[in-house]
Amino acid sequence: MKYRSLYIKVISALLVFGAWEIAGRIPISYAFPTFFESMSALARMTFDGSIFVAYSETLKPLVIGVAISTVLGIGLGLWIGLSERFEWLFSPIFIVMQAAPLAALIPLLVMAYGIGLTSKVFVVCIMAMPVIVLSTSSAVRNTPSSMQQMATSFLAKDHHILLKIIIPAASPVIFSGLRLGVSAGFIGAILSELKITPTGVGDIISYSRSIADYPSMYAAIFSIILLAVLFLNLLEKIENLLFKGNDRGYVTD
């Protein structure tokens, strides 16, 4: 059953898209286009190249922000997980960042960083970083102690224990935080384009919405989701590659 998982994916996709098409045809709302209308809008945007232009704009803050959040987030998360002092001082910041309604804070960001790339990168970071930091730090605390002891007995230095024991042991949870962080980063990038300055894909969404071109709006949203899902799958591949033995399969197998 080599292709089983592919079949399952295709079937469930067909079901959902079918439901979408039907819902669009009823229609459940005049603002809800059918699947085919949306896909033809997507095809149109792909062929006239406008979607690529938009993404070249959107991906800039996204990539920068996600890269910063990943590196800084995992680093800070490790530090918070390891040092009680650091946790005491800094975990409130991330809880605040995580809980703060970003939309309400955007004026502050605009004030401080203007309406350019910096603000957008900032939004992406604010969205992506806290989950990464908090997951990493909680995972670090659950590292099996017998393995730490083993490494110590084989003369592991602190950085060895960190890199070779704590990170691999914590990796499943770090990666689940990372997934959420990266997707939050996607959302942040779009949000910043909707709320700070409409450029790129956010512009397509808000413009087609304001001219009631709903198929284009849904097509743009669909393309973001598609991109994010592809990216998350890539992330999962990386996880499986880096920490192969951590994948012990499913209990039902």
Partner 1 sequence: MWIRGYKLPAMSSLLVWGLLWEVVGQLGMTFFIPPLSDVFVTLFEIIGTPAFLKALSETAQAFCAGVFFSVAIGIPVGILMGRSRLLDELLLPWVNIFVSAPLTALVPVLMVLFGFGMKSIIITTTLFGIWIIILNTRAGVRQINRSLVEMATSFGASPMDAFLKVYFWAALPEILGGVRIGVIRAVKGVIIGQLLISIVGFGALFELYASNFLMSHFWAVLIVLFTLAFSISEFLGYLEKKVAYYAASR
Partner 2 sequence: MIVDMSQTNSDFAGVQQPEQDIAVSVRGVSKNYGAVEALKDMSLEFPRGQLTSLLGPSGCGKTTLLKIIGGLLKPDSGEIVVNGKPVVGPGPNRAFVFQDFALLPWANVLRNVAFGLELRGVAKSEREDKAAKYIKDVGLAGFEQAYPHELSGGMRQRVGLARALSVDSKVLLLDEPFSAVDEQTRRKFQEDLLSLVANENKTFIFVTHSIEEAVYVSDQIAILLPRPSRVSEIIRPSSFRLKGAENIRRDPEYLDIVDEIWASLRNYVE
Partner 3 sequence: DTLKIALAETPSDELAAFFVALDRAKANGLDYEWTAFSDEELAVQAILSGQMDIGFGTPYSAMQRSKAPIRIIFQLSKLKFFPVAVEEYTDLSQLDGQPIMLHSRGGGTDSIANVIEDRMSMSFGDRSYVPGSSNRVVAMLAGQADATILDLSNKNKIIAEAGDRFNVLPMFDVDASDEALFANLDWIKDNSEQVDILVEALVSVWQDMAEDPTVISRETNPDGPIGQLPAEILAELDGFYTEAVAGGLYDPNGGGRIAAKADLDWYAAAGQLDGNPEEMNIEDFWYLAPLDAAMK
- Nearer to partner 3 by Cβ, of 91 and 216: the residue is 216
Select from 42, 45, 62, 131 the one that contacts partner 1 (CB under 8 A): 131
Cα angle: 190, vertex 42, 223; to 5 degrees: 35
- Candidate residues 14, 19, 163, 229; the one interacting with partner 1 per rule CB under 8 A: 229
First-to-last alpha carbon distance for the chain, in angstroms, is 13
> Footprint of partner 3 on residues 82-121 (CB under 8 A)?
106-107, 110-112, 114-115
User: Given candidates 26, 99, 155, 251, which one binds partner 2 under the rule CB under 8 A?
Assistant: 155
Task: Name which of 162, 145, 151 is nearest 77 in CA terms.
Answer: 162
Where in 80-235 does DSSP place strands (E)? none
Q: Measured between alpha carbons, how far is 118 from 113 in angstroms, rounded to an integer?
A: 6
Q: Choose between 49 and 101: whose C-beta lies nearer to partner 1.
A: 101
Q: Least Å distance between CB 84 and partner 2?
A: 20
Question: Using CB distances below 5 to 8 A depending on partner kind, what does residue 159 bind out of partner 1, partner 3, partner 2, none?
Answer: none
158 belongs to the binding site for partner 1 (CB under 8 A)? no
Compose the 159-198 pattern: x for residues touching partner 3 by CB under 8 A, - for all others.
-----------------------------------xxxxx
Q: How far apart (Å, rounded) are the C-alpha atoms in residues 152 and 159? A: 11
Contact predicate 185/127, CB 8 Å: yes
Spatial CB neighbours of 111, under 8 Å, sequence gap ≥ 6: none
* Residue 244, phi then psi, degrees to nearest 5: -55, -45
Binding site for partner 3 (CB under 8 A): 28-32, 106-107, 110-112, 114-115, 194-199, 203, 206-207, 209-214
